[in-house]
Chain A
């Protein structure tokens, strides 16, 4: 079962249209909610006049921050995000009021009838300006959300040793998750006073914390239930807390179920994005290509609220040098508030930005030294037992070299590098091939406690309920967890039913983020299933005349491992256990191995293990139009152990496509806080015609901390293709583009085009 690819356990309901997503929910007496958004990116609220809105027939409630019974703000790290703005709006996605009505049309009419008087405040939209003295203050205490650093050796000494010091600046853009399902919740009040919010939730426990605090309810009276989730990629966290708080408040005040959903326009304006980064790199290198020092300064645009900025930038600070041996390192990363749309978690979580910078840079340095990019990297990459930029000794198989070899040899790297350079002299459309590699800390790391649980319940008929606090969002978690439980209990996957994720069925096991589910949740499921199996073995031991330790569960039987003929079937063992009064429900808890971080010193063992990867992109670029075609991508990823190889391949292909969009197409354009790309006709993500052939190369170096040696896959897939494309474009057209995305205008003109005119709203 481990290493096989059974069909998705939630596949059938998805291909038949039976899967029930948030927008499909309908409760008796349900009201529809609409939000009144801010009209300025930064303004003081002087007066909210809801009188006209309340008079409209069919309106059930019009609520503002004044109606909030609990804390008006929430936040996982910094408590600053207000689902209903109290005295000030800080970006155009803020809400000043929320309406519930009999129909969505009436609610929309009522929201439009709300009149708000503002005093406009000076605003700031560039995070570098926001950190300067005298910048308009967006939150009390200044605009610096956080500052993280790493310190290793002495960079001044490192630069003295260098033959060449290279300085480069890069920037990345704001991008949207663009899950095809926009955000939606239905809040309803149970007769016992419990508020249930069902919807498109990614992180049910953090959403519960926000709702309980906002409404002044104990956690035990708030229940967050996940509907089928139409994609998330890190995106349905804080913005779902916001929706859940607003809908929960309306349900509490009206006593009726309330649906609140974002249109695509609302989603693009209101929900958080991936951070734009401004990155300055200074690198010392010897003539022979040995790196001597790196000094890195990064400013991240956090937008109006902190959200995950402190954690996103922490991941960046740990990985900022890339998987290279650098004896002297000084990295500083600042998160800054602006009046832009806030930014938070998005698949990659602070790595796509820095990977774009350091992998573009590695090619630039190799070019300066007249070295081949692959050879230059092979000479500088981290090897087994070496020390990272944060001072961590790597005690697992460091496979970045293996990934580089695997991806480049599959791609025919050396031959194509030579041949394309030759052919491009006479070709109209230029061909190029580029690569990027990375290392990535697995799971939450030292940013917080990392622990999660699982419950395996064997029913009297031998069917199995499996519950964890981690969610399916398309990645295949239900299938992989079901495989693990089935494997340990020796039954087919079909016997396992993965329960819908619900805060009332299991204790808080943390968020489904950081590619932590297989390694953390999978380990918990394995432990719980083993505990359940041990009970069955104990129950069957007498009947089989054997010691429980001699027994195993295989092929729907409990059997003597050394003598498979001595066996009883699985349901028989269940019956014996129940007759003996045994409890066939097992709960297991899994805590990550110890890690640490010294924020003051800027060093530590940041993650308990790392994954390594390399992607190679072959592209064709038209120098006349700037159009890039990504023809083929080879993606080599060390996953430790692929529990479900077909699902791993799905993650790789999906992550590559997301990165192709990041590299060549996508940008949420904001002009003075106003979103210019408000639907999918203007915000372009890759179609089937924009994504070339993707070759997945799965590498397996089992990790001592992973179940069956498994590590992770979801996020590393999305952090490599943008720099690989940028390097391929440099190879093809001789143009080094240091700002994302590499869209038509950047290729042809070298800068981006901005829509100046204010769009009517």
Chain B
């Protein structure tokens, strides 16, 4: 298969790559760039474990071809914290017991980040809708919703602009 040229920005870093035209964004991140924080849980866009932020919006990276992302900006879970300093959503997930097995956590946090980016003060219903594409089998979502509410209430600063 003839490879295609791809310029893409991931977590603020520009990459010029040659990739297979049928490569999923998920595989580009995991296999080519070694960003394994993005998980695969179903491969058909139902579980949300592979959620990343593409130009400010949460997307399922298993449903997007890498080639579709030419010239675009992607944020993965690895790009959310500021070095050692956790993003307020990451900290809130810890503070509120919103993490159990952790497999859904990266996608869940990124869906929440995209929500807060668009809507800094969401209602509980809006939070539940925003994360309804991210399945979690451990938590029953209770502490996740509490964590997002807490992060939304934090002093805004410019932290959400990172995405």
Contact = CB atoms under 8 A, between A and B. Distances in A.
Contacts of A17: 35-38, 76-78, 106
Contacts of A647: 97
Contacts of B30: 24
B97 A649 contact: yes
Contacts of A689: 128-129, 132
A681 interface: yes
Interface string A675-687: 0000111000101
B157 interface: no
Nearest to A20: B36
A249 B138 CA distance: 33
Interface stretch (A225-233, A387-395, A621-629): A225-233
Name, among B46, B95, B99, the residue most crowded by chain A CB atoms within 10 Å (CB to CB).
Answer: B99
B28 interface: no
Nearest to B40: A23
Interface residues of B, number: 53
Name, among A12, A17, A475, A685, the residue most crowded by chain B CB atoms within 10 Å (CB to CB).
Answer: A17
A23 B43 CA distance: 13
B136 interface: yes
Given A180-B135, A181-B39, A8 B44 contact: no
B10 to A, nearest CB: 13
Contacts, number: 169
A646 B137 contact: no
Contact of B99 (A8, A178, A263, A687): A8
Interface string B86-116: 1000110111010111111110010000000
Given A180-B101, A180-B137, A654-B100, A230 B109 contact: no
Interface string A207-242: 000000000000000000000111111000000000
Given A15-B93, A647-B97, A688-B144, A179 B137 contact: yes
Nearest to A268: B42
Contacts of B41: 180-182, 264, 680
Interface string A1-43: 0000101101111111111110110000000000000000000
Name, among B39, B93, B102, B143, the residue most crowded by chain A CB atoms within 10 Å (CB to CB).
Answer: B102
Interface string B72-92: 000011101100001000110
B135 A650 contact: no
Contacts of A180: 39, 41, 47, 49, 101, 103-104, 135-137
Given A16-B77, A231-B103, A231-B137, A8 B39 contact: no
A63 to B, nearest CB: 26
Nearest to B148: A688
A202 to B, nearest CB: 11
B160 interface: no
B131 A688 contact: yes
B43 A474 contact: no
B43 A15 contact: no
B100 A15 contact: no
Contacts of A474: 100-102, 138
A421 to B, nearest CB: 28
Contacts of A264: 41-44, 47
Interface in B109-163: 109, 127-129, 131-145
A349 B50 CA distance: 31
A8 B141 contact: no
B42 A10 contact: no
Nearest to A655: B140
A740 interface: no
Nearest to B129: A689
A694 B142 contact: yes
Given A474-B100, A650-B139, A688-B132, A23 B144 contact: no
A658 interface: yes
A354 interface: no
A691 B140 contact: yes
Interface string A459-494: 000000000000001111000000000000000000
A574 interface: no
Contacts of A656: 140
Contacts of A473: 101
Name, among A12, A680, A688, A693, the residue most crowded by chain B CB atoms within 10 Å (CB to CB).
Answer: A688
Contacts of B90: 15-16
Interface string A162-185: 000000000000000111111000
A690 to B, nearest CB: 8
Nearest to A645: B97
A233 B78 CA distance: 28
Contacts of B35: 17
Interface string A627-646: 00000000000000000001
Contact of A230 (B42, B97, B102): B102
Interface in A125-147: none
B36 A181 contact: no
A657 B76 contact: no
Nearest to A690: B132
Contact of A21 (B39, B42, B128): B39
Contacts of A657: 137, 139-141
Nearest to A11: B94
A680 B46 contact: yes
A653 interface: yes
B136 to A, nearest CB: 7
Interface of B: 30, 35-44, 46-47, 49, 76-78, 80-81, 86, 90-91, 93-95, 97, 99-106, 109, 127-129, 131-145
Name the 9 nearest CB pairs between A and B, nearest first: A17-B37, A474-B101, A14-B102, A230-B103, A657-B140, A653-B140, A474-B100, A17-B77, A680-B46
6 contacts: A180-B47, A180-B135, A181-B101, A263-B43, A474-B101, A657-B137
